[in-house]
Amino acid sequence: MNNIVAIVGRPNVGKSTFFNRLIQRRDAIVDSVSGVTRDRNYGKSEWNGKAFSVIDTGGYIKGSDDIFEGEIRRQVELAIDEADAIIFVVDVEEGVTPMDEEVAKLLRKVTKPILLAVNKVDNGAREKDAVEFYALGLGEYFTIAGMNGSGTGELLDKLVEVLPELPEVTEEENPLPKFTVVGRPNAGKSSFINALIGEDRFVVTDIAGTTRDAIDTTYNRFGFEFKLVDTAGIRRKAKVKEDLEFYSVMRSVRAIEHSDVCILMIDATRGFEGQDQNIFWLAEKNRKGIVILVNKWDLIEKDTMSTRDYERKIREELQPFTDVPILFVSALTKQRLLKALEVAVEVYENRKQRIATSKFNDLMLPIIEAYPPPAIKGKYVKIKYCMQLPTPTPQFVFFANLPQYIKEPYKRFIENKLREQYNFSGVPIDIYFRQK
């Protein structure tokens, strides 16, 4: 189980650069497709052997300057509620601004670990300028330069020192698979679970976020026992009034990290929106099994939109990971709900499958021989041997003489061939090319 660390601060202080440094990915900055915040708000990081999840609140703020202040206040309040530790980033070039003071005022009331990071300190003069941030009343500060990384080591040393110890998750003898129902508020997660269990255990009203706790229900169907986890709101705080994108993501992070299969519910009347995509990529990045349920299908005028059109639209958004089951259901009329569970069980089994090395080679090597990787600079890449790695999620390694010359398109080709031969529907897979 990972601690959650939130990075807060006003716009343009360098939160995203710092975030990218933590998750060590340059490509996390911005996706050019608008509304696709695939990578830039959530990642995993590790320091001194301690792993934690990082959330960059900056990516969720949209709107003009006058909206910003309220937005930032709300995000800081959310981070205070949800995260285990907070890194507050300020900018030495601009000094202490009124908005920094506002954020500091909220943070001073908190008992959680707060680390103040003064960014853009890349020379001695700026080191002296940083002293004024003592005025924020948050105690000692750390001077960093997000661009070149200086100072981040000391900050992270302190962070892992102050992160609270999380309760050990005890491995049961036969842990039941966890199927977590995720999605934005009001997509019908609780109604789905109520319809399956046949009891109104979850309060369901039209107000977003009426679920009070993440509830695990042990469920037995098709001779298969598993836990159904509802994440529909988990104690929505009174002061969080709006349906914030950031909120659903913060909430989903923990639930997704602990599940085997994520059942992502989307509201047919609203379509597959940015927020649904965020949650989808969160599950994909955590290598969980995924099933998409389009709920409230009974409310759609069938002549305007067929399931085929609707499904095609969703798959376009899922590129390149399109091998995901999509079902059209209605929690209200109970249409196809059992089918949905059956598919979730299949995805769970797909994720667990192990392929014998000899069979895998017999199948994949002839395909590779027929379609070898393109030669680069007159050098031919030969792949001699392949196997599945003994990891909890499906990972495959192909041994080659020049693995560095194998590019992304060929990797995707191999993945597609693999999916044609074996059923990995709903399961993200990793493919590596290594020196033999």
Known binding site: residues? 9-16, 56-60, 119-122, 183-190, 230-234, 295-298
Say how far apart CA 197 and CA 195 lie, in whole Å: 6
**Predicted confidence (pLDDT) at residue 43 exceeds the cutoff of 70:** yes
Mean pLDDT of 425-432: 93
Average pLDDT in the 205-225 region? 56
Per-domain residue ranges of the chain: 3-162, 178-352, 357-435
- Superfamily for 178-352? P-loop containing nucleotide triphosphate hydrolases (3.40.50.300)
118: CB partners within 8 A, 6+ apart:
90, 91, 92, 130, 133, 141, 142, 143, 144
Q: Which residue would you say has higher pLDDT here, 169 or 190?
A: 190
Q: How far is CA 124 from the centre of its chain?
A: 39
Report the binding-site residues for GTP: 9-16, 56-60, 119-122, 183-190, 230-234, 295-298
Which of 13-22, 72-81, 352-361, 411-420 shows the lowest mean pLDDT across its residues?
72-81
Q: Which residue has the higher pLDDT, 250 or 241?
A: 250
In this predicted structure, the answer to whether residue 119 has a pLDDT above a threshold of 60 is yes
Which fold would CATH assign to domain 357-435?
Answer: GMP Synthetase; Chain A, domain 3 (3.30.300)
* Cβ atoms 327, 336 nearer than 8 A: yes
Cα-to-chain-centroid distance, residue 288 = 10
Number of residues that make up the chain: 436
* pTM (2 d.p.): 0.70
What pLDDT, on a 0 to 100 scale, did the predictor assign at position 35? 35
Q: How many CB atoms lie within 10 A of CB 232?
A: 32
Do 3-162 and 357-435 fold alike per CATH? no
How far, in Å, CA of 428 to CA of 288, rounded? 7
DSSP alpha helices (H): ranges in 3-151?
Answer: 15-23, 65-82, 98-108, 124-129
* Secondary structure tally for the chain: helices H, strands E: 12, 15
Q: Residue 210 pLDDT > 70, yes or no?
A: no
Grade residue 37 by pLDDT with cuts at 50, 70 and 90: very low
Q: List the CATH code of the domain at 3-162.
A: 3.40.50.300
Cα separation of 80 and 294, whole Å?
Answer: 33
Q: Given this model, what pLDDT does residue 66 score?
A: 58
Structure tokens of 274? 């940015």
Identify the burial level of 50 via C-beta atoms within 10 angstroms of its C-beta, where 0-12 means exposed, 13-18 middle and 19 or more buried.
middle
Q: How many CB atoms lie within 10 A of CB 134?
A: 13
Q: Which of 230-239, 321-330, 369-378 has the lowest mean pLDDT?
A: 230-239
- In whole angstroms, give the CA distance from residue 6 to residue 15: 10
Average pLDDT of span 343-348: 92
pLDDT of residue 225: 78
